[in-house]
Structure 1
Amino acid sequence: MKRIIAILLVSFSFLGNAQVADVPENIAPLLIGEKIPNVKLVGLNGKAEDTNLLFSKKTVVVVYRGGWCPYCNAQLSDMQAIESDIVGLGYQIVAISPDAPEFLKETEGKDKLAYKLFSDSEGQFSKAVGIAFSTPVKYADMLGKYSVGKNTTWLPVPTVYVVNENQEIEFLYINPDYSKRLKGDLLLSVLKSL
């Protein structure tokens, strides 16, 4: 009976985060000490991967709005500039956006990124970690284009998670103001202290 109750509690807590907030300020993100749920993300090759496998080693997870966002591109470039330092500290970088794989390829080439990019066009990851919010209708066409019709209504609040090999969150940076991003030098300081 205790096992059934524990399973139900875990299920309800997962479902509680699997939603879309009305505005960025009302998101309910997973926090330090919580575990990233297992969902599927789609790689540049179009193949789905489980986050349990993808995050089976220490990972810096960068969730961004899309390759169309200049603030996101600046952040992705900043991460590329410190990628070798991050790898030297034993971490990998994984960047996730609602963009479909073909648009991820454009972002990868444009920003000359060496780390992994994944698509969350259907929002499984963003909703599961509690960072998705509803967008104004004026974004529908653009979101539909970049997600190849899979998303017209939501965006993630840009987020950086640092997770250990057990998918447990050890650090989190999130700001509902999409123009405010975690700087690379601060991230390196955090990684060195973990």
Structure 2
Amino acid sequence: MKKTLFILLVIVSFVTNAQNALPKVATDISPLLIGEKIPNLSLKSSENADVKISDLLNDKKTVLIFYRGGWCPYCNMHLSALSEAENQIIDLGFQIIAVSPDAPENLKITKEKDKIKYTLLSDSKGELIKAVGIAFEVPENYKSVINVNSNGVNSSFLPVPAVFVVNEDSDILFEYISPDFKHRITSDLLVPVLKNLK
């Protein structure tokens, strides 16, 4: 009986660990698909206030961005390009929300540096990033920068840069996910997509 109980505990432990394990590389992620819902989880605003993602998504259709952090030059270029297209995006009836593992105080730095008006949210624990299926194990050479920018909360994961277009019911209408962090959807491609989803 003890042996059977021990084997059962080992199996349960193995299954639990396997479910919690992050993909080792960006190409192994398993993101949510078009038609699925963005989970309703709490994140932090740049003022360190709790924000339920559904409260923001319920307002209007949303361009939901996931980026690696304000320390990433490719992310900063992408965030700036979205700022330049923001008026067009708003005119089409969409809002922009961008999520990263950065701590709230680092979101403020990014907002000021890149002159961003749209909403930036902190997911330092990675709850939403993992639930959306775009988290992977942080490469060794990024661990210290991730740790510093999340104020010691995160040293284990990075999000694959992603754009989800979501309706007021949190349903995913469109997604662009690139395991190569240097490649992002351009505003020239995104704006026509939004026109079609209007």
Compute the TM-score of the two structures, normalised by the length of structure 2. Answer: 0.88
Determine which of 29, 43, 46 is the counterpart of 2:45.
43
Please tell me whether residue 126 in structure 1 is matched to residue 129 in structure 2.
yes
Alignment partners' CA distance in 2, 1:17 and 1:181: 29
Question: What is the identity, as a one-letter code, of the residue corresponding to 1:55?
Answer: L
Is the radius of gyration larger for structure 1 or structure 2? 2
Corresponding position: 1:53 with 2:52: no
User: How far apart are residue 18 of structure 1 and its match?
Assistant: 6.9
CA RMSD in angstroms, aligned pairs only: 1.3
Counterpart of 1:12 in structure 2 is: none
Q: How many residue pairs get matched?
A: 179
CA contact (8 A) 1:17 1:127 kept: no
- Within a 5 Å distance, the mapping from 1:97-116 to structure 2 comes to 97-116=100-119
Aligned twin of 1:22: 24
TM-score for both structures, normalised by structure 1:
0.89
Identity of aligned residues (%): 50
Asked if 2 retains the 8 angstrom alpha-carbon contact of 1:17 and 1:129, the reply is no
> What does residue 155 of structure 1 align with?
158
Asked if structure 2 preserves the Cα contact closer than 8 Å seen for 1:18 and 1:128, the reply is no
**Residue matched to 2:169:** 166
8 Å contact kept, 1:17–1:28 = no
**Runs of 4+ residues over 4 Å off in structure 1:** 16-19
Alignment of 1:76-91 (within 5 A): 76-91=79-94
